[in-house]
Each structure stands twice: as C-alpha cells, then as structure tokens.
Amino acid sequence: MADGEPDRGVSKTWLSISVVVGTSLAIGIPVLMLRRAKAASLKLALDNPSAAPPPRRAVPSSSSSQVARSQHRIRALPTSNSPNHKTSPPPSDWDTSSSLLAAISNSTASNALLAGKAFLIATTLVGVGAFAFVSTVQYLTGAYTVPDFARRMRYLADKHLTGLKSRIYRGPENEEERKASREAVPFGSVNEEEEWSWEEAEKRLKKAYDEGGFTLWSKVALRELEAEARIERARRRRESVEAENARS
C-alpha cells in the first residue's frame, strides 16, 4: 500500500494539470473559431449588401399608351452631346442592417457543431500531448514518481548549477551583515552534522529576546531558519547521492 501511494499522487497531479490545460484550450479554441466565422460573415455582408426591392410598375392602358407616344413624338432632343450616366443610389442603413442580421443568423446556425468539433479536437490534442510529454520526461530522467523527480532535479542543480547555488546561499558580504552574524553567534550555531530541533531553537530565541529585545530576536530567528534549511538541504543532498549511486 505504501509503494502505491506515490503512483496515485503522481496520477492525481498530472490529471489535474491535464484537466486545467484541456479546459482552457476547449474554451479558447471554440471562441476563437466562432469569432473568426462571425468576422468572415460580417465582412461578406458588408462587401455584398442586399439590393433594394424593384419598384412596382402599373400595367399601361390604351389611352395612357397613346398619350405616352404623343409625348415621345413632341419631346425635344437633348442639346448636350455628353452621355447621361445613371448613378445608382447608395444602399440605405436599413439594407445594411438587415444584411448583417441575416449573416449573423446564418453563422449561428452551425455554432453547436463547430463547438463540439473544437472541443473534441482540443481534448484529443491535450490528452495526447500530455501523455507524450509525461512519458518523455519519465524516460529521459528515469524518475517515475514525484519524489524521484525532485531528488533528480536537486542532484542536477547541486552538480551543474554551483554558481547559482552560491549566489542564492551566499555568506555575509558587507560589514553590516557580518556584524549581524557576529551578534547572533553567541546564541548557538548548528552545523550540518548536528541535529537541529525546534526545542533548542526556542531556548535560543528566548535567550536572545531577554538580552537584546525584538531586534536581536529577529536576527536569531532568521539564523535558526537558515540553519534548518541548511540541514534539510544536506539531508536531501545525501539522499540524492545515495539514490544516484543505487541507480548506477
């Protein structure tokens, strides 16, 4: 039972990551596709507005046709030789708005199908990508559980990132930091081989508060936290080295 618990923890961790990524893509891809479809429909409607309905024409009677022929005979010829170009009236606002509404109604007819396809494609891509990524990382690092992966990363950081490690866990650089370190020295120092405990730390903190007040207490508290972190790092480093030696 104890050996199976890390595997279940790893499965839950990767499952939660896959759910978050899949949900984000499943929501974002359909929205992007719908926005593009609506933009294309609106552009098409603006480029090709619907024409106005043709005007009604009454059927001419015999008397009206005779009057029209007589007017045609007595009408004077145009004096200008320039051709008469007939300009079409610009489309009205009503025609444009009606065409936009028609385009939007046509584009929303297949939204459900587009959303379903996008969700299926996004879920498939996320699942395949997550499985491939996890399998590749496990194969390259040789770590199939989260604790193994953490130990592997700490070992690589201690081995190849010594410059970064020295900058993070640096010693006192100026006189102020050295003075603060010297003030906290009389209240106990813990080496990596010594066993650090909160009981002893509480005694040292109480002594510092009684002798130097809150200022000295805060310096000693920071020193105790650094000592705890240093001992924890040393323990993890030993575990990483032992795990690497056992693997090799």
pLDDT at 197 over 50: yes
User: Which tokens hold the place of 95?
Assistant: 């025609």
Separation of alpha carbons 235 and 231, rounded Å: 6
Which pTM does this prediction carry? 0.32
Taking the domains of the chain in order of start, what are their residue ranges?
Answer: 1-50+92-141, 145-248
Q: How confident is the model over 26-77, as pLDDT tens digits? A: 777 777 777 787 777 777 767 665 545 555 555 555 555 555 555 555 454 5
Separation of alpha carbons 71 and 162, rounded Å: 106
The pLDDT assigned to 98 comes to: 61
The pLDDT assigned to 37 comes to: 77
* C-beta neighbour count of 37 within 10 angstroms: 16
Output the CA–CA distances (angstroms, integers) from residue 100 to 37, 54, 144, 228, in the order listed: 13, 21, 56, 69
Can you give 181-231 as a three-state secondary structure string? HHHHHHHCCCCCCCCCCHHHHHHHHHHHHHHHHHHHHHHHHHHHHHHHHHH
* Sequence letter at residue 212: G
Percentage of residues in the chain having pLDDT higher than 70: 54
pLDDT band at 87 (very low <50, low <70, confident <90, very high): low
pLDDT band at 3 (very low <50, low <70, confident <90, very high): very low
* Sequence letter at residue 223: R
